[in-house]
Amino acid sequence: MALATGIANIFRIEELRKRLLFTVSLLFVYRVGIGITTPGVDRAVMQEYMHSNAGLLGLFNLFSGGGFEQLSIFALGIMPYVSSSIIFQLLGVVVPAIEKLQKEGEVGRRKINQYTRYGTIVLSVVQGASISVYLETLRVGAQRVVGEDVAGWGFRFMTVVTLTAGTAFIMWLGEQITERGIGNGISLIIFAGIVARLPAAIITTAQASGQNESLTPLAVILLGAVMIGAIVVICFVERGQRRIPVQYAKRVVGRKTFGGHSTHLPLKVNSSGVIPPIFASSLLAFPATVASWPFLGWLKDVSDRLFSSVWLYNAVYVVGIVFFAYFYTAVTFNPVDVADNMKKNGGYIPGIRPGKKTAEYIDLVLSRITFGGGLYLSAVCVLPTIITHQFQVQFQFGGTALLIVVGVALDTVQQIEGHLITRHYEGFTGPRGPRIRGRRDNVTVAAPTS
């Protein structure tokens, strides 16, 4: 009943209603663009090739919303923008000028966004050129993805321009959704691409499972329960926080008294998001993808040994996820900066000295919960592989896609609920009571990132 009331409240707020319609409209435009094919290529041959050769291309196709297997003008998807954003986050650790921009607030953020857009175009040109050359070599039997009469520098130039323009347009759509719609536009575009392919994937999985005589009704029920349980666990952990108590001392300035309240520093259990599985799966799929290149034939032996054992593959996958969870968390969160900002504002953790000791304590807590977050990511991502091997069921989506879909859905619902609560409407889970009035003793301090 509370959920139905919350959904009804969405359409009572004119601004929220317009934002939702705007978001849905731009996502519809994105999905229409997926159906427009890049000039000079044979979509049917490419789809047949993708069905028999996945590897790194399968992951690439996942984040492009199926655009790569259809050789759409949006075949690059939004990944060049995501890659550019990650690159500038990493550069903020080693380049002092970018680190300075990250600490300059709104002005610095706009400048970094501008550099990120330039980086997106550069990456799109490089990837588009590589794909254009790669497409000329692909064939299924006697059929070629690019005809001999089409291949050449003209085709390569047209492909680079088309794919780069498509990525730039998607980037613009994402920024418009973020600014004038609801939710994070870039995340919603990836979300829409995955969800749009879900019905076809369910049908394909059902057909493949129907031919499996060992898949009994009891096994089907067990599989359904496992998948529902995985979604529940993702919802629970993604909202999980380790709240470190913070006390602010009283300060008297003139006749006014500042501070003197208690709050907390929230540290997410999974602070690295979905980045570790993406990095780990990309590294594992890379040898199989480039093993056909003549001068990299030795990678074929590496790929064969890696994929010959499910348990070896999963073990390497888990190690990669945990490693990148620590790596990305260390890049995006600096305990020293958090401790310094806390000390400057008169805040301290009860029982911990301000400054260096506070930074060490935060780093210790963050290391512990990051290990738990890495194991959680590993379990979610490895589960589909184990089920596929055990029950011989072909899943079209892995744990990475499941993490993205559930995570983006949670963030979007949280933003919608925020709009409802600020206007004194009930959220999806019922009334919030005094929290909408902003009590000083329950204020949450967002952890700054480096």
pLDDT of residue 26: 92
Measured in whole angstroms, the distance separating CA 217 from the mean position of its chain's CA atoms is 34
Confidence of residue 428 (pLDDT cuts 50, 70, 90): low
Say whether pLDDT at 78 is over 50: yes
pLDDT of residue 6: 64
CATH 1.10.3370.10 range(s) for the chain read 1-196, 213-450
Say whether pLDDT at 154 is over 80: yes
Confidence of residue 167 (pLDDT cuts 50, 70, 90): very high
Record the tokens describing residue 364, joined without a space: 């210790």
Confidence of residue 233 (pLDDT cuts 50, 70, 90): confident
**Residue range 207-229: mean pLDDT, rounded:** 70
| Distance (Å, whole) CA 342 – CA 322 | 29
**Residue range 305-334: mean pLDDT, rounded:** 82
pLDDT digits (tens, 9 = 90+) for 354-379: 888 889 999 999 999 999 999 999 88
**Residue range 125-139: mean pLDDT, rounded:** 84
What superfamily would CATH give domain 1-196?
Answer: SecY subunit domain (1.10.3370.10)
The least confident of 25-39, 88-102, 298-312 is 298-312
pLDDT of residue 182: 86
Query: HEC states along the chain?
Result: CHHHHHHHHHCCCHHHHHHHHHHHHHHHHHHHHHCCECCCCCHHHHHHHHHHCCHHHHHHHHHCCCCCCCCECCCCCCHHHHHHHHHHHHHHHHCHHHHHHHCCHHHHHHHHHHHHHHHHHHHHHHHHHHHHHHHHHCEECCEECCCCCCCCHHHHHHHHHHHHHHHHHHHHHHHHHHHHCCCCHHHHHHHHHHHHCHHHHHHHHHHHHHCCCCCCHHHHHHHHHHHHHHHHHHHHHHCCEEEEEEEECCEEECCEEECCCEEEEEEECCCCCCHHHHHHHHHHHHHHHHCCCHHHCHHHHHHHHHHHCHHHHHHHHHHHHHHHHHHHHHHHCCHHHHHHHHHHCCEECCCCCCCHHHHHHHHHHHHHHHHHHHHHHHHHHHHHHHHHHHHCCCCCCCHHHHHHHHHHHHHHHHHHHHHHHHCCCCECCECCHHHHHCCHHHEECCCCCC
**Residue range 166-186: mean pLDDT, rounded:** 90
CATH class of 213-450: mainly alpha
pLDDT digits (tens, 9 = 90+) for 81-118: 888 888 888 888 788 888 888 878 788 888 888 999 99
| Distance (Å, whole) CA 242 – CA 216 | 42
pLDDT of residue 117: 92
pLDDT of residue 194: 84
Bigger pLDDT: 223 or 214? 223
Question: Do 184 and 408 meet the contact criterion of CB atoms below 8 Å apart?
Answer: yes
Confidence of residue 213 (pLDDT cuts 50, 70, 90): low
pLDDT of residue 434: 43
The least confident of 6-10, 124-128, 259-263, 392-396 is 392-396
pLDDT of residue 438: 38
Mean pLDDT, the chain, rounded, equals 78
